[in-house]
Chain A
Amino acid sequence: MIVARGLERRYGGRRVLAGVDLVVQPDDVVLVTGPNGSGKTTLLRILAGLVAPTRGELELAIDRSRIGFVGHEPLVYRELTALENLDLFGRLYRVPERRERIGMLLERFGLWDVRAVRVSEYSRGMAQRLALCRALLHDPDLLLLDEPHASLDAAGAALLDEELARLARGRALVVATHEPERLSALAPRRLALT
């Protein structure tokens, strides 16, 4: 699914990602760990196609439309409601039976009751859950998650753990995290960046 060799990224003269090798197979769960500034976010953004590597090779045997991405930001419009945001992205991703899919995801992530509330009125945790809905809208084969537990309260984090366990069946997950022990039940491989 993904073969990366010697991925490196520089901003100006500063190297933020140094020589990363990574192979991801369709059912893999890969945890990317490392201290702040070690390049976890940059690696995920390169894999998502948002940033080009300065050096190295990246072979993606997966269509761009089959990747789901959850970053530090929720990637949704603040002035739109959850329903309006998901409807827009559902259209752009050509999601079949869009309304049913959106309703199911909002129910699953506990946002159905606030579906008509603007995102600007959401808490960080609610916005993060909506970001997960957006990333899962098109039922991706590869899910890239950048510190998905950030901003979630204990209940939200537990819900996410359950979801990740469910999502890990039949798709690849690459998760950048400071809490690798949370996902140890998924028997993940680890990629430690320094």
Chain B
Amino acid sequence: MTYVSDVVALTRKDLRVELRARDTLPAMLLFVLSTLVVFHFALPAGTGATAAYGLLWVAIVFTALLGLSRAWVPEAEHGVLDGLVLAPCDRSAIWLGKTLATLAFLLAAQVVALPAFVLFFAPLDATALAGVLLADVGICAIGSLLAAMAAAGRARELLLPLLVLPLAIPLVVGGVGSAVSDDGGRFLLFLLLYDGVFAVLSWASFEYVITE
């Protein structure tokens, strides 16, 4: 129960910081909506839904990257990460709290973005929505770990996409597959497995990432 209460306290802290600073979520919302509007006007008339689903994933991945690039900024200011590392809580709770907070921001952006996608492009069925949710979990789990690694370096903004995008490719494959394939359930299962494996790896390796 102590672990859960630590994670809850850390997640709540991230939500409270964002509520005060308003640095991340407005930028994510603006970015994803702008991207969808640009795609709407850039795509030639008569373009099929399959291409549109692909573009949705471009918007989702880069919106997530935007959120992840800001994820550890509050900890970088005033050296707070040192304070968290010194605390006797399980260090993986810091990763899990950050993952949940980032996931909350991404989901909040998608509450606006997905209806906009449906309005501009194509409908999304339950399988496609499940694909988006599972891919979100994977992106945030892996991304929170890699963003912590990138935050320690000097070229944070440059390093993060280079680390995250290769690992996000299977998530995009699974997400697009769940939306366009006749056998979307197979892609959901793939996303579930991918999330499980990489969430456990991220959870287990976070301690080594934040300590030298």
Residue A84 lies at the interface, judged by CB distance under 8 Å to chain B: yes
Interface hits, B38-87 → A, CB 8 Å: 74, 77-80, 82-87
Query: CA A64 – CA B82 in complex, angstroms?
Result: 13
Convert A53-65 into 0s and 1s, putting 1 for each residue whose CB lies closer than 8 angstroms to a CB of B: 0000000000111
* Contact present for B17 and A92 (CB under 8 Å): no
> Which residues of the other chain, A, contact B211 by a CB distance below 8 angstroms?
49-50, 52
Q: Determine the main DSSP class of B at the interface with A.
A: helix
* Contact present for B16 and A84 (CB under 8 Å): yes
Convert A63-100 into 0s and 1s, putting 1 for each residue whose CB lies closer than 8 angstroms to a CB of B: 11101010111111111100010001101111000000
Q: A80-B13, A91-B5 are in contact. Are A71 and B82 (CB under 8 A)?
A: yes
* Contact present for A88 and B13 (CB under 8 Å): yes
Q: A65-B88, A94-B2 are in contact. Are A89 and B20 (CB under 8 A)?
A: no
| Tally of contact residues, B, Cβ under 8 A | 25
| Tally of contact residues, A, Cβ under 8 A | 31
Query: CA A88 – CA B74 in complex, angstroms?
Result: 14
> Which residues of the other chain, A, contact B74 by a CB distance below 8 angstroms?
77-79
Query: CA A48 – CA B10 in complex, angstroms?
Result: 22
Q: Which of B16, B77, B84, B88 contacts A78 (CB 8 A)?
A: B77
> Which residues of the other chain, A, contact B84 by a CB distance below 8 angstroms?
92
What is the chain B residue whose CB lies nearest that of A84? Answer: B16
The CB with the most chain B CB atoms within 10 A, among A67, A72, A84, is that of A84
Question: A123: shortest Cβ distance to chain B, in Å?
Answer: 14
Q: A52-B212, A77-B78 are in contact. Are A89 and B21 (CB under 8 A)?
A: no
Which A positions have Cβ atoms within 8 angstroms of B? 48-52, 63-65, 67, 69, 71-80, 84, 88-89, 91-94, 118-119, 127, 134
Chosen A-B contacts, 20 in total, with CB atoms closer than 8 Å, are: A48-B86, A50-B82, A50-B85, A50-B211, A63-B88, A64-B86, A64-B88, A65-B87, A72-B79, A75-B82, A75-B83, A79-B16, A80-B13, A80-B16, A80-B17, A84-B13, A92-B84, A92-B87, A92-B89, A94-B2
